[in-house]
Chains A and B, each alone.
Chain A
Amino acid sequence: MTDSFIHHPSSYRDPSGFIFSKNGVLYRQVNKVFSQDFDFFVASGCYEKLVKKGLLIRHEVINENLTGDKDWHTTLQPAPIPFISYPYEWSFDMLKDAALLTLDLLKEAMASGMILKDATPYNIQWHDGKLLFIDSLSFEQYDETKPWIAYRQFCECFLAPLLLSHHSKIPLQELLLAYSEGIPLAVTQALLPWKTKFSFHTYLHIHLHAKYSLKKPSATGEKTIFSKRKLLNLITSLEVLIKKIRLPDSKSTWSDYYDEAAQRKDYLVHKEKIIHEWLGKIKPESVADFGANTGEFSKLAAAQNIQVIATDFDAFCINTLYKAIKKNSEKNILPLVLDLSKPSPAIGVNNEERDSFLHRTSVDLALALALVHHLAIGKNIPFGKIAAFFGQVCNYLVIEFVPKTDEKIQFMLRNKEDIYSQYTEENFLAQFQTHFNIQEKIMIAGSERTLYLMKKNER
């Protein structure tokens, strides 16, 4: 056993405590300065209530100073979250539900004499088929005479991206990559259509808020007198507004993929049969389905009690999948919006606060079904680079090779010059064999496409 611990790079803002890992286990230290609030959080029954309602992560109290820190009050060991995702990878409805969860927690906390001292989506993670609040140090004792300190943060982190998507009818989760601490009110106000000034709740929370947020604090430091009733009204107003905003189910390029593919029934049935067999053979515990579309193959794996990360660059598809997961209480799928030509980078202080997608991802099996031609021909990514990506994220790979004669590729090349002389099955195999060895190869019925099962080369 070593004595060293690693302070988590994203856990530096709040002096109440911090996240660290020791011997591969993640812990949260509570500092002395926050002891009164944390002890009240537990003693008031607020912690137990929130955990029982499935809103907050459960932790174990480790009564040992693992860091040797003089500010140590107690150590918590939170339940592990298998995969950390970020709001710029979430679909519209997932961010919307995260916003409503934050307001639910705020109300529950207030009922126990506590309040949320921050409101950021980074405090929320997907776990066991639902959103869960993971920061046990976000609760402090409530002073009813004071307004909500995290109100502006809530408006910038949740309300702003949701409203911008709602009014533009475009999924804009990527904006949160640029504005990772929330879209400033002034920016949101400038981007929202003018008519939103006549929308009662939007006017109050964005336009009026933006106007006042530019005001300098008064020199006299006059106090604003607030009340619990007033804060509850504010929460109700935010809830009314958030519940109303929605992203229309637009027909995106690929959202009707399965309907169309269903016309080629033999193809889909055979493909499902092969995947089913290979899943039984490999018995993976974790799967990443890249180019998942609305997740038909993710669901196939999830039904076998496998943890699945389903990704697609089409945010409409992922939103449809998110809604289906919610409706069917599907526990094993995490749906994420991800463009493989630019997977989420590492961002934040020293570029290490939020990890890159590649650094976070390591699965037993990756599925790349009807995907490789979109990357190689749609995005001009050479096979070598695609193979290197999969070589970093998985042990096994199920990949579908689509030949150039396929009607989908012919469609893609209709308005594009065929500069893809390297796009051959031989070159595909040569490049992938630098990272993988081929285990099996099956032609899919009703098509010219081939499914390959590959295993990562032993180093």
Chain B
Amino acid sequence: MLHHLLYIDPGSGSFLVQAITAAVLGIAFFFRNIRLYIKSIFTRTPKKPNDNPPA
């Protein structure tokens, strides 16, 4: 168990709001990742010839 020196006041509601915010963000980022994945399938750029390692 870690005992921390709480020398700044985190704000009484700040811990609670972090829990709520993080939960909302968890859902938002989950859907964002799906959206980005689908987008990447359609916008995948073909490899440029000079990207290939020299023979």
Which residues of A line the B interface, CB within 8 A? 13-16, 33-34, 117-118, 140-141, 143, 146-153, 200, 204-205, 208-209, 211-217, 224-226, 229-231, 233-234, 236-237
Contacts and interface: CB of A to CB of B under 8 A. Distances in A.
B5 A14 contact: yes
Given A14-B5, A117-B4, A151 B19 contact: no
Nearest to A236: B29
A216 B12 contact: yes
B42 to A, nearest CB: 23
Given A233-B22, A234-B25, A15 B5 contact: yes
Given A150-B10, A230-B22, A234-B22, A213 B5 contact: no
Contacts, number: 104
Contact of A226 (B4, B8, B10, B18): B18
Contact of A212 (B9, B20, B22, B28): B20
A212 B5 contact: no
A15 B7 contact: yes
Contacts of A147: 10, 14-15, 18-19, 22
A179 B21 CA distance: 25
Contacts of B41: none
B19 A226 contact: yes
Given A200-B28, A226-B22, A149 B6 contact: yes
Contacts of B20: 208, 212
Given A211-B13, A213-B12, A226-B19, 15 more contacts: A16-B5, A117-B7, A148-B18, A152-B14, A209-B13, A209-B17, A209-B21, A211-B17, A224-B15, A226-B22, A229-B26, A230-B19, A231-B22, A233-B25, A234-B21
A229 B22 CA distance: 9
Contacts of A149: 4, 6, 8, 10
